Amino acid sequence: MTRIFVTVFAWAVLFFLVAPLLVIFPLSFSSGEILTLPVPGYSLRWYEDFFLTERWLDATKNSFIVGIATMIIATVLGTTAAYGINLTNFRGKTVVLALLSLPMVVPLIVTAASMYLAFSVVGLANSLWGLIVAHTIIATPYVLITVLASLQTFDPNLMRGALSLGARPVTAFREVVLPLIMPGVAAGAIFAFATSFDELVIAIFITSPGEFTLPRQMFAGLREFISPTITAAAVIMILLSFILLFISEAVRRRGERLTAGKVKQ
Amino acid sequence: MKKTLTLAAAALMALTLPNVSVARDLTIVGFGGGYQDSAREHLFEGYEAASGTAVSDDVYNGEMAKLYGMVETGNVTYDIIMVEAPELVRGCEDGIFAPIDYEVVDGSKFIEGATHECGVGGTGWGAAMFFDKAKHPNGPTTYAEFWDVEAFPGVRALRTGPKMTLEAALMADGVAKADVYDVLATDEGVERAFAKLDEIKDHLVWWKSGAQPLQLVGSGEVDYAFAYTGRIIRANGEGADYQLNWSTLLYSIDYWAVVSGSPMMDEAMKMVEWITSPEPLRAQAAVWPISPANAEVNADPALQAANPGMVLNHSDEGLFISTEFWIAHGDELQAKFTSWAAQ
Amino acid sequence: MSKKSRISWLLIAPLLALVVAGFILPIGYTMVKAVKNPEVTAALPRTVMVLDAWDGQGMPPDSAWDALADDIEESRRGREFGAMTRRLNFEMNGARSVLMQTRRALGSLEPPYAQSLPVAVPELATPEIWQLIKNNSNPFTASFLLRAVDLQFTPDGRIEAVPPGTAIFLDLFKRTFWISIWVTVICVVLAYPTAYYISSLSNRAASYAMLLVLVPFWTSILVRTTAWFILLQREGPINAGLQAAQITSEPLQLIFTRFAVYVAMVHVLLPFQILPLYSVMKRQGTSMLRAAASLGAPPWRQFLLVYLPLTMPGVAAGAVIVFMLSVGFYVTPALVGGLQDQMISYYIAFFTNQSINFGMVAALSLLLLVFTGALILIARRFVPGLGSLKAG
């Protein structure tokens, strides 16, 4: 009896989680202008509108520019910092770690408002660079976490061995450490990209229409004119999250295999 | 991996650099919607063709914070901006708008009261109550009826903020147009307006941008809404069957102002002169029911006949929104409204 | 410092520099802005100097009038004067128009101003406005922080509650707290049986079921909110379905209500509760339950005494994340809620964009930060190992 109840309950919750996303798909292919089901007919007109409207394309372009730049900077800075943190037990390590993960615990609205106030003073507001800096800051904690996790499974003797064989530290890092922690780095990079690509609150505060990202443009659309083009944009974003989820799961599995292999050895 | 990173970085540079290196266009900012579409075609692009200066336009919802931020940090990316009268006066007092160069702009061509130290009249505008006749053949036609949730059940939409909302509430409560601002200047009058708003609070949705009330009524989300008349007329032109109640009209004039610290001050003044001159305004009036603050165009009988939706044609039916009142009481009533609406 | 730890610092330095410059400094800047009060001294330096020697009783000395006239003349084209009047109007409604009137009047007045000004601007002939200037000549003020808890200064410097019609922030903090609590409770109630069910499945089935949690988790918050925005419309799919099934005859008002805020927030945050619960339950397995059962304990006792305590860390970890994220939520309530359903974050955005009052932005941010900081400290006491959890 309890068992049946739990099963039904769980499936109802899972349905609640997924169903709203599924509703968007048919709506985005609707031939009508009113967002209701059943749709009057199917067409690609909203996708056409998305791909032919300058502000949607600009927003998509901005999202990719900021997302990729954030991913690169966050991954490079996060990985080197994680390596540095893992290398020694220096004084002040816990403080540094706490400081670097602060952007995760401070409410986003406070971060966004503070960045707006301070970035305006130094001319970083209303520029893609400002948004890249902001996104890098909120994305690096994820890179730190994933890379630190994979560094913990890494055997420091391997690095020492390479160094004793005369390899330069940089070479040793590139040839020995990096391949082994790659799953962690890649997972962090994907998370960094996803964080930037989804981020809206900071974008609301520090961008003007010229720098609108895809979520920011959707938000403007929801408050302005709710054309079904928004559903097309939403479907495109869902598909992208799907791809990111898929890559991140693949990376995770690979990471697990690597760790498992090492344990066996 | 390394190759990919280099490629990505190169692509990134290629995409961002042009935005940084090219000098920016003369930028003019308005409230968007159909008015701005027609202005873009006949005023902005017209000036671009006439002067050879590249012009681009942007949209805002009347929030002044960004503008103040720009001027105060010296990073001014807007040159000309359309503002409501109280914001013009306050912005001028605060040094946010530059004084109009009346050597360049001809101050004599405007209707009375449409020139100011820091701005010249662009267009008259109004907002009124409307509903979809297809859904409600006999909807409310006065503010008293708009407030009558028994006789006219349904959801109402008003603009977020005290301006226009409090005037409407007092008129719904039976205050005559001529007395609205006298009553609202007293504490009892303010209490009375909020008490009247309390009556319909549970039936209200609040909008921010001009497009929203049309969207809300169009999608059936809202039954009766207060909206800018130009947008209602445009929707009717596109096939909607909306009843616009001119007797509920609240109207004013929007101004063109030049932003302090604009790096293209001279160009901006020339553009302001050009876009307030008769020829481009006539062209614009042919496609959009503007009420230009240019006296000659505004008085043109042919234009008035062709554009029954011109706000200044209906001025005797409506209430002119008092600039002085909102300059004096804006902050206080905004604070009261914010507190009231949040409860 | 050893050579190795120097390398450590060298590797950490770039990220640390970025976080300090782009995050710590902006937050610090904002916190300082919450108590800074430079406007009056910047615009009226001479007046402030004269008033400094005044005891605040009765009218100020005649020299104050001349100083005020000099200051206004000096700042005629600058922006300091406007900023100062906005600042003082925040303290006392009407101060701005008095001062603007003074500026206009001064154009045609002759000294001595102690005689000519009070005639032109009668409001200046009362001590209030001078007290206000004097009280705000201090470079720091508690005004914004007080206002953020619905208190204010009187002209003579006492602290009092704001008039009832304008009080707002205490209610908002309470509302933010309670909405967050309820969202957290609902998430726990929904997540617990679900995570339990998934953890009881075979590995393969569980990974498919988890996909149904992970897909929404990876989908943008805005996209999920958009979905609810569409679903809850008056002529949207839910109302259409309810009417087609003849459950309701009239469309229900779903969007722009507190109900919509709860539904959408729970939907957005639920995966954050399911994921840690699932990982704890998966590790736990059902062996303890079986052991308890073999000792003859009835099912509800097995659950209450064995399973629940063992899975408590998962509940706590998820609940803390959900609660912390709820407290700072902005986008979802802003889109699907009405003005009566907004939380403190909405007003931080409001003061940033709508009204030009960065002191209030800073004060509300500071209070929200302190509020969250306190909750983290409390949570850390009760939930060991919280620091290592990721919160998106």
Return the pLDDT at A82.
94
Coil vs helix vs strand at B143: helix
pLDDT at B9 over 60: no
Q: Which residue in A35, A68, A210 is closest to B12 by CB distance?
A: A68
Return the pLDDT at B16.
47
Return the pLDDT at A208.
81
pLDDT, mean of residues C334-342:
94
Give whichever of B23-32, B115-124, B303-312 has the largest mean pLDDT: B115-124
Determine, yes or no, domain membership for A238: yes
> How far is it, in rounded angstroms, from Cα A43 to Cα A29?
5
Contact C85 B63 (CB under 8 A): no
> How far is it, in rounded angstroms, from Cα C172 to Cα C170?
5
Set of chain B residues whose Cβ sits within 8 Å of the Cβ of C93:
331-332
> How far is it, in rounded angstroms, from Cα A91 to Cα C245?
67
B235, two tokens? 């929707």
- Residue B18 banded pLDDT, cuts 50, 70, 90: very low
pLDDT, mean of residues C18-40:
96
For B57-71, what is the HEC assignment? EEECCCCCHHHHHHH
> Euclidean distance between the first and final Cα of chain A, in Å?
47
B138, two tokens? 């006999």
Return the pLDDT at C387.
45
Determine, yes or no, domain membership for A184: yes
Interval C163-174: pLDDT, tens: 888 899 999 999
Q: Is A66 on the interface with B (CB under 8 A)?
A: no
Contact A65 B58 (CB under 8 A): no
Q: Which of C254, C249, C250 is nearest to C233 (CA)?
A: C254
In chain B the domains, ranked by start, together with CATH numbers, are 2-15+22-124+252-312 (3.40.190.10), 126-251+318-342 (3.40.190.10)
Return the pLDDT at A220.
86
pLDDT, mean of residues C131-139:
93
Set of chain B residues whose Cβ sits within 8 Å of the Cβ of C89:
331
> How far is it, in rounded angstroms, from Cα C89 to Cα C95?
5
DSSP string computed for B191-242? HHHHHHHHHHGGGEEEE-STHHHHHHHHTTS-SEEEEEHHHHHHHHHTT--E
Return the pLDDT at C389.
42
In chain C the domains, ranked by start, together with CATH numbers, are 39-137 (no CATH), 169-382 (1.10.3720.10)
Other chains touching C, judged by 3 or more CB pairs under 8 Å: A, B
Searching chain A, which residue's CA lies closest to the CA of residue C356? Answer: A117
> Which range of residues forms the domain containing residue A248?
55-260
Q: Mean pLDDT score of chain C, rounded to an integer? A: 90
Q: Is B12 on the interface with A (CB under 8 A)?
A: yes
Q: Answer for the pair B97, B120: CB distance below 8 angstroms, yes or no.
A: no
- Residue C388 banded pLDDT, cuts 50, 70, 90: very low
Contact A208 B73 (CB under 8 A): no
- Residue C304 banded pLDDT, cuts 50, 70, 90: confident
> How far is it, in rounded angstroms, from Cα B241 to Cα C329?
39
Residue of B16, B31, B40, B57 for testing the chain A interface, max A β-carbons within 10 Å: B16
Return the pLDDT at B23.
65
Q: Is the dihedral of CA B203, B208, B211, B215 positive or negative?
A: negative
C309, two tokens? 């305590």
Return the pLDDT at A126.
83
Residue of A54, A115, A206, A226 for testing the chain B interface, max B β-carbons within 10 Å: A226
Strands annotated E in chain C: 151-153, 159-161
B90, two tokens? 């306050």
> How far is it, in rounded angstroms, from Cα A115 to Cα C134?
32
Q: How far is A70 from chain C (nearest CA, A)?
A: 13
pLDDT, mean of residues C269-283:
93
Number of neighbours of residue B110 by Cβ within 10 angstroms: 22
pLDDT at C206 over 90: yes
Return the pLDDT at A80.
93
Determine, yes or no, domain membership for A116: yes
pLDDT at C5 over 80: yes
pLDDT, mean of residues A245-255:
85
Q: Mean pLDDT score of chain B, rounded to an integer? A: 90
Q: Match 């505008």 to its residue by tokens.
A: B125
pLDDT at C240 over 90: no
Helix (H) or strand (E) holding B122: strand B119-132
Set of chain C residues whose Cβ sits within 8 Å of the Cβ of A249:
214
Return the pLDDT at A254.
79
Searching chain B, which residue's CA lies closest to the CA of residue C254? Answer: B221
Contact B221 C233 (CB under 8 A): yes
pLDDT, mean of residues B87-100:
94
> How far is it, in rounded angstroms, from Cα A24 to Cα C357?
39
Return the pLDDT at B15.
47
> How do strand B80-84 and strand B26-30 relate by DSSP bridges?
parallel
> How far is it, in rounded angstroms, from Cα C377 to Cα B88?
48
β-strand partners of B252:
B125
pLDDT, mean of residues A188-210:
92
Interface of A with C in 184-243 (CB under 8 A): 194-195, 197-198, 200-201, 204-205, 215, 218-219, 222-223, 226, 230-231, 234, 237-238, 241-242
Contact C83 B206 (CB under 8 A): no
pLDDT at A184 over 50: yes
Residue % of chain C over a pLDDT of 70: 96
Q: Mean pLDDT score of chain A, rounded to an integer? A: 88
- Residue A59 banded pLDDT, cuts 50, 70, 90: very high
- Residue C1 banded pLDDT, cuts 50, 70, 90: low
Determine, yes or no, domain membership for A247: yes
pLDDT at B56 over 70: yes
Q: Which of B94, B34, B88 is nearest to B62 (CA)?
A: B88
So what's the ipTM on this one?
0.91
Q: Which residue in A61, A123, A223 is closest to B73 by CB distance?
A: A123
Contact C235 B96 (CB under 8 A): no
**CATH code of A236's domain:** 1.10.3720.10
Give me the number of domains chain A comprises.
1
Whether the full predicted model's pTM is greater than 0.80, yes or no, is yes
Searching chain A, which residue's CA lies closest to the CA of residue C228? Answer: A20
β-strand partners of B250:
B127, B319
Q: How many helices (H) and strands (E) does chain C have?
A: 21, 2
Q: Is A139 on the interface with C (CB under 8 A)?
A: no
pLDDT, mean of residues B306-312:
83
Q: What is the dihedral of CA C219, C222, C228, C234, to 10 degrees?
A: -150
Return the pLDDT at A263.
46
Return the pLDDT at B14.
47
Return the pLDDT at B98.
96
Q: How far is C218 from chain A (nearest CA, A)?
A: 6
Dmax over CA atoms of chain C, in Å, equals 101
> How far is it, in rounded angstroms, from Cα B193 to Cα B172?
9
Return the pLDDT at C392.
31
Determine, yes or no, domain membership for A173: yes
Determine, yes or no, domain membership for A1: no
> How far is it, in rounded angstroms, from Cα B208 to Cα B62?
10
Contact B12 A69 (CB under 8 A): yes
Return the pLDDT at A259.
63
Return the pLDDT at A67.
97
Q: How far is A121 from chain B (nearest CA, A)?
A: 6
Interval A104-123: pLDDT, tens: 889 999 999 999 999 988 88
Q: Is B219 on the interface with A (CB under 8 A)?
A: yes
pLDDT at B7 over 60: no
Interval B186-212: pLDDT, tens: 999 999 999 999 999 999 999 988 889
Which of residues A152 and A48 earns the better pLDDT score? A48
Coil vs helix vs strand at B243: strand
Interface of A with C in 21-80 (CB under 8 A): 21, 23-24, 27, 34-37, 77-78, 80
Q: Is B17 on the interface with A (CB under 8 A)?
A: no
pLDDT at A231 over 60: yes
Determine, yes or no, domain membership for A47: no
- Residue C310 banded pLDDT, cuts 50, 70, 90: confident
pLDDT, mean of residues C115-124:
92
Which of residues A255 and C389 earns the better pLDDT score? A255
Searching chain A, which residue's CA lies closest to the CA of residue C386? Answer: A105
Interval B116-151: pLDDT, tens: 999 999 999 999 999 999 999 999 999 999 999 999
β-strand partners of B157:
B205, B225
**Cα B291 to the chain's mean position, in Å?**
13
Determine, yes or no, domain membership for A21: no
pLDDT, mean of residues C298-304:
80
Set of chain B residues whose Cβ sits within 8 Å of the Cβ of A72:
5, 8-9, 12
pLDDT, mean of residues C164-193:
95
Contact A225 B211 (CB under 8 A): yes
